[in-house]
Amino acid sequence: MRRDSAFTLVELLVVIAVVALLIAILLPALGQARHVANAMHCMNNMRQIETAHQVYVADHDGAMIDVGLSHAGSHHDEDATWIRTLQSYWDVHTSSGTGPEVAARSPLDDSPHWGPAPAGEPIPGGPIDQRRRTSYGLNDYLTSVAPLAAQRHRRLGRVRNPTDTVHVFIMAYTGDFAGSDHAHATGWYRTGPPAHALAATQVQTNAVHGSPGTPDAVSNWGFLDGHVEQSDFASLGSGVDFNKFNPAVGP
């Protein structure tokens, strides 16, 4: 007698169930692998920025690049911001013509504020047409918006320890700092909310993983000597005596 080789309904349902189970197991792993790859790509972007900044400093007698985009307000002078100024120093041109935008946006960045207008959501507290221009921001200790006493560190040669001084980070995806190109690290370790909580309103401290506003939130951080670290916020500072954002203190 010849046996029919077709699947029975029960066998077919078992196969479908097994395939569905495998997909359910593999999808989170694939998503995690994609996130890890994006985090590494983001670190490469930051290395490009820091490399370009080193060239900029050499061309400007040791002076570091400045910022130009305010938070929760007008754009100020966009042509003077570092994201525009560094364009000619970035080696990120591609055949698609995207150019500097490759390094301007982190692959981790899912902010709803990307434009230009009318696309994207307006920045809270800002003009109706203001949008996010860069994922990356600068440590205000190293810019003209720092208190006058700290502005002596605007030249690389005056920074005590460039290897342990944070320069670039990922700006908060939402909130009034989402449209800025710098954060106010000068105020994080003063009296008030814990530094990790205050910093999380300005910087995406958990861009890699962790919960925002916690000491163990992990993100990518670029340093003045050109290297990039993926580390938790607590490892960057614990108070006025240990603060890798303050170029006068260091570790």
User: Which pLDDT score is estimated for 240?
Assistant: 82
Residue 49 falls inside a structural domain: yes
User: Has residue 99 got a pLDDT over 60?
Assistant: no
Q: Which of 202, 199, 193 is nearest to 237 (CA)?
A: 199
- Token digits of residue 138: 């600068």
Binned at pLDDT 50, 70 and 90, residue 97 comes out as very low
The domain in which residue 164 lies consists of 44-243
Q: What is the DSSP string of 122-176?
A: PPTTS-TT--B--SEEEEGGGSTTS-GGGGGGGBGGG-S-GGG-EEEEEBPSSST
Residue 21 falls inside a structural domain: no
Widest Cα–Cα separation across the chain? 96
Residue 209 falls in which region: left (phi positive, over 0), alpha (psi -120 to 50) or beta:
beta
What pTM value is reported for the model?
Answer: 0.83
Residues 115/105, Cβ–Cβ less than 8 Å = no
pLDDT in tens, 3-44: 556 668 777 788 888 888 877 777 776 667 888 999 999 999
User: Has residue 1 got a pLDDT over 80?
Assistant: no
Residue 66 falls inside a structural domain: yes
């993100």: which residue's tokens? Answer: 219
Our count of domains for the chain comes to 1
User: Which pLDDT score is estimated for 78?
Assistant: 63
pLDDT in tens, 107-162: 999 999 998 889 999 998 888 888 888 999 999 999 988 887 777 888 999 998 99
CA distance 156 to 54: 9
User: Which pLDDT score is estimated for 89?
Assistant: 75
pLDDT in tens, 180-225: 999 999 999 987 789 999 999 999 999 999 998 999 999 999 999 9
CA distance 206 to 196: 11
Residue 76 falls inside a structural domain: yes
Residue 143 falls inside a structural domain: yes
Residue 145 falls inside a structural domain: yes
Residues 171/134, Cβ–Cβ less than 8 Å = yes
Residue 24 falls inside a structural domain: no
Q: Which of 90, 18, 79, 205 is nearest to 98 (CA)?
A: 90
User: Has residue 77 got a pLDDT over 70?
Assistant: no
Residues 137/169, Cβ–Cβ less than 8 Å = yes
Residue 69 falls inside a structural domain: yes
Bridge partners, 140 (sequence order): none
User: Has residue 81 got a pLDDT over 80?
Assistant: no
